[in-house]
Amino acid sequence: MLGPGDLGPAVDQAVALARLIPENAASFVDLGSGGGLPGLVVAVARPELSGLLVDRRGKRVDLLVRLIGRLGLTGRVQAVEADVIDLPRRYPGATWSVATSRGFGSPAYTAQHAAPLLAPGGHLLVTEPPGSAGERWNSPEVRQFGLALVAVADGIAVLTRS
């Protein structure tokens, strides 16, 4: 959800998100990748990570595939057309160190679909609206999926899966 002139701050926030990913992380999944924020920025900023960019709209995935190629990320980052709900069935037993999200859905919806994708101890990093303290992530609706808010930094809520 970017309008004219919004790209710079959105990229800056994606860079901040990439810095919050733990050093020992090996992989990430970007939920609702859209035009590639934060997923493509994470992939460029953290070359040691493998990534899966997920969007249910084919045109967006086509764009992501082209951008992955142009950025030299082929082989390390993949874009797939899928609904996040289908990922556990599409990738049975697969988990990621980190899930990222920008404007994906409500906290409960995001938690419900991110938690099964995360390895135990994995992290969900979600961009927050300006001025938010992340309190919406500290709720029973989120905790029921085994996720706990551990920090809000640089406009990004950081949750850990138990």
pLDDT tens, position by position, 32-72: 999 999 999 999 999 999 999 999 999 999 999 999 999 99
Q: How far is CA 4 from CA 7, 9, 69, 128, in A?
A: 8, 12, 25, 20
Domain boundaries in the chain?
A: 7-161
Residue 130 confidence (pLDDT) = 84
7-161 topology per CATH: Rossmann fold (3.40.50)
Q: Are 127 and 38 in contact (CB under 8 A)?
A: yes
How far is Cα 134 from Cα 124, in angstroms, rounded to an integer? 13
Residue 3 confidence (pLDDT) = 53
DSSP code, position 31: E
Task: Provide the whole-model pTM.
Answer: 0.95
Q: Residue 7 — pLDDT band, cuts 50, 70, 90?
A: confident
What is the token pair recorded at 142?
């989120």
pLDDT (average), residues 1-12: 73
